[in-house]
Amino acid sequence: MKFSFNWIREFTNVPRATSARDLERLITMKTAECEGIEPAGELLAAACLARVASVEEMPGGHCRKALVETERYGPKTVVCGAPNCRSGITTVYVPLGAKTIGGVESDGMLASGAELGINRDADGIIDLADGESLDRCAPDAVIEIDNKSITHRPDLWGHYGMAREVAAILGSELRDPVRLDLLPTGRPAIGVSITDFSLCARYSALVFENVTVKPSPLWLQYRLEAIGLNPINNIVDFTNFIMAEMGQPTHAFDRELIAGETIFIRPAKSGERLRALNGEDYELAESNLAIADESGPIAIAGVIGGDATAITGRTTSIILESANFQAASVRKTSAQLKLRTDASMRFEKAQDPENTTRALARAVALLAELSPGIRLVGGVADEREPAAAAPVIHLPLNWLARKLGRSLAAVEVWGILERLQFGVSESSPGVLAVTVPSWRATKDVAVKDDLVEEVGRMIGYSSIDPRAPAVLAAPPKSDPKRVFHRELRTILTGLGFTEVYNYSFVSEEEIGRFGFTAAEHLAVVNPIASDQGLLRTSLLPGIRRNVAENAKYFDTFRLFEIGREIHKQPEGLPDEVTHLVAAVYGRGDGSPGLFELKHAAETILPGSEIRPAAARNFEHPVRAAEVVWRGETLGRLFEFGPSMELDGRAAVLDLDLRKVGGLSGGETKYAAPGKYPSSEFDLSVLAGLREYMGDVRAKVAGFAGPLAESVEFVRQYTGPPFPEGVKSVTFRLRVGSPERTLASEDVGAIRAAIIGGMQGLGYELRV
């Protein structure tokens, strides 16, 4: 929303020392967030009226040498290229200094409306009609306010409402531009019929005749242009002017193009169509509220008027409507038709029903100036539901002080609320009865907590000493699950992994890649996007997406996610199971990633085993295993298979944290260090290239006997002098006894037993 500094000052006394920048800061601190200030009409500071006395063509171009008589600077010679520069025209002169053009010294310029910021006409210099002046056109500053910060304040969607707020902030007088005594009495010249008052709370209208449609005076064009509205003609412009000033949208119909003597406000009939003012055709539904005559819709209520009844140069009689429509109805219609207008944005905020006749009264005063000779026909057509009583809120001052964190005298609270134009009285000692004005009663101020905000923002939140509430706080019990997840994050980030967060939503295409079906998943009733219509039953689709995306930018990376799988149940709520999925990506063979994740699993689950398992459809055929801990399978370690279509290799660890948590805990028993030293030796076993190292290790450990303390993998080697398809796997064995130091003969016997046993199984050993 854009607000003219000059326009606001017409309604309230802003001190001379208060600049637009000062006012912007005050509004930001006490009312709504301002986004900046834009200057408007800067050239108008030095501009004045000028009459072109004579024009002389210049050779070699389209420019003319003009002798002009200016009001402020005397006679001037100006070179002008505008096609409408002619002798006798009254225009606007701006002293920009002298420069030579085509051998002629030009002192200043004759300006177009676009150059002055008055309108968007850049085709020629301003051509003033008799009696027109620049008296109401002066340099301005336009304050831009973030729309979101005034969404709950429909009263601030017009300059008068913002001026009312400024007057409260500054403690200055507020001048009302509306004279309700200008509204005519008597029988209306047009009938109004409202089908459903819940959709249209009020509809007011006036009929004018002897209307002259012509360009608006410069001051009106300038006022609209400064706030981003395009001037069109005096009738359309004054409706935009009232909307920008009062916050109340109005619309003018050509009276001669209305069928019948009654305007109907009713739900549209299925299949009805309307060509709107924007030239687009819209098919209406029964959920859309229409404004209609006897022939059919003439406007979409609260959104846009119809082209068939639009104001044209031939219009001589108009019906001016000013209505109050239900906010939700306008919003739904606007969204359905994909059409948002300045009017719909205001109606969506829940307008004040009392504003309809105020806007008509303002129109009566304006039209007398904009269309001389215009005449009112009949009285005001005004249909409405019965006005509700003004809400009264009881505000205990001790409760207010407790909520604010600062004590205030009753007279100070009283004064603040009265400046904001609330009605105030004392209902009982220490309790104020606050009456909410109509423009703040439409889904804005409804309870006493709202009044706390009103008082707080006016005294300034910086005046409140920030202190913690003086209440006893009971720290919550420690959540073991949360502590465990935090420990997991610490372990994995310490190992070089980066945590990722994915939505719990997946698409059918994503789950299809893994062989999952939509029937297994819960469907989202209102998905935020077309590709997020199902709740995930696995974290793997999201991790696969993360890997594919990051592979575009990095050759190696490690990432993990802790999140919930959501499994549909035959009855009741779904079962949510927390999983940890970690991935290591690289462009080489991929086996280092598997070993990294094996190490991560052993760090998280000390003593866990990795056991080979049959690969699932999305896993590498020979690189798939189960993670077993304390006798139970808790997850899988695998590499994504070719069907995942990744540019590189990605190893994945998937752990069921619910099962992990169920097996965690228990007593940790202390074991004293051995009294006697251990002995170590290495053995290398030649095995098939595809043979699992874990199987080989288990066989070695089986032959080592009870004195073997550990059997650890050291390295693997393939290549000369070994034949193709054979690998050398080296293990380091530690042996010892709790009762004595083993002699070299004892160690040799264990070594010989292993060698003999392995050779008996057909293995060759390198010793």
CATH no. for residue 343? 3.50.40.10
Q: Do residues 687 and 726 lie in contact, with contact meaning Cβ atoms separated by under 8 Å? A: yes
Domain boundary (430, 462, 494) is at: 462
In a domain, 124, yes or no: no
- What pLDDT does 667 receive? 61
Residues 266 and 355 in one domain: yes
Distances (CA, A) of 453 to 92, 438, 448, 456: 49, 18, 9, 5
Tokens at residue 440, please?
């703040």
**Distance separating alpha carbons of residues 620 and 625, to the nearest angstrom:** 10
Q: Which residues contact 476 (CB under 8 A, 6 or more apart)?
A: none
Tokens at residue 66, please?
């003009």
- What pLDDT does 60 receive? 80
Tokens at residue 32, please?
């709504």
In a domain, 601, yes or no: yes
Distances (CA, A) of 710 to 118, 145, 633, 671: 90, 72, 23, 16
Residues 652 and 694 in one domain: no
**Neighbouring-strand partners of residue 266:** 290
My answer on whether omega of the bond before 721 falls inside 30° of 0, hence cis, is yes
Residues 549 and 457 in one domain: no
In a domain, 341, yes or no: yes
Domain boundary (384, 413, 448) is at: 384
Distances (CA, A) of 28 to 7, 36, 157, 158, 173: 18, 10, 15, 17, 21
**Neighbouring-strand partners of residue 610:** 627
| Exposure of 548 in the CB half-sphere (CA atoms within 13 A) | 13
In a domain, 671, yes or no: no
**What number of other Cβ atoms are within 10 A of residue 474's Cβ?**
5
**Distance separating alpha carbons of residues 497 and 501, to the nearest angstrom:** 13
Residues 523 and 600 in one domain: yes
CATH code of the domain containing 96: 2.40.50.140
- What pLDDT does 607 receive? 86
CATH code of the domain containing 743: 3.30.70.380
In a domain, 475, yes or no: no
Residues 727 and 689 in one domain: yes
**Distance separating alpha carbons of residues 422 and 31, to the nearest angstrom:** 16
Residues 458 and 484 in one domain: no
Q: Do residues 29 and 192 lie in contact, with contact meaning Cβ atoms separated by under 8 Å? A: no
Q: What is the CA radius of gyration of the chain?
A: 41
Residues 213 and 306 in one domain: yes
Q: Do residues 540 and 514 lie in contact, with contact meaning Cβ atoms separated by under 8 Å? A: yes
- What pLDDT does 662 receive? 85
Question: Which mean pLDDT values do the consecutive 10-residue runs of the chain (767 residues) have?
Answer: 97 95 96 96 96 93 93 96 95 95 93 96 94 93 94 96 97 96 96 96 98 96 96 96 97 97 96 96 96 97 97 97 97 95 96 97 96 96 93 96 92 96 95 96 94 96 83 84 93 96 94 93 89 94 96 96 95 95 93 93 91 93 93 95 93 95 72 85 92 88 91 90 92 92 92 93 88
**Distance separating alpha carbons of residues 367 and 665, to the nearest angstrom:** 84
- What pLDDT does 668 receive? 62
In a domain, 608, yes or no: yes
Total domains, the chain: 6
CATH code of the domain containing 516: 3.30.930.10
Residues 723 and 621 in one domain: no
CATH code of the domain containing 437: 3.30.56.10
Residues 755 and 622 in one domain: no
Residues 562 and 616 in one domain: yes
End-to-end alpha-carbon separation of the chain, Å? 85
Residues 216 and 327 in one domain: yes
In a domain, 223, yes or no: yes
| Burial track 595-621 (b if 16+ CB lie within 10 A, e otherwise) | ebbbebbeebbeebbbeebebeebbbe
Residue 670 burial by CB count (10 A; 0-12/13-18/19+): exposed, middle or buried?
Answer: exposed
Which DSSP helix (H) or strand (E) runs through 223?
Answer: helix 218-226
- What pLDDT does 666 receive? 60
Domain extent at residue 705 = 679-766
Residues 308 and 422 in one domain: no
Q: Do residues 30 and 67 lie in contact, with contact meaning Cβ atoms separated by under 8 Å? A: no
Tokens at residue 63, please?
């420019």
In a domain, 146, yes or no: yes
**Distance separating alpha carbons of residues 82 and 720, to the nearest angstrom:** 91
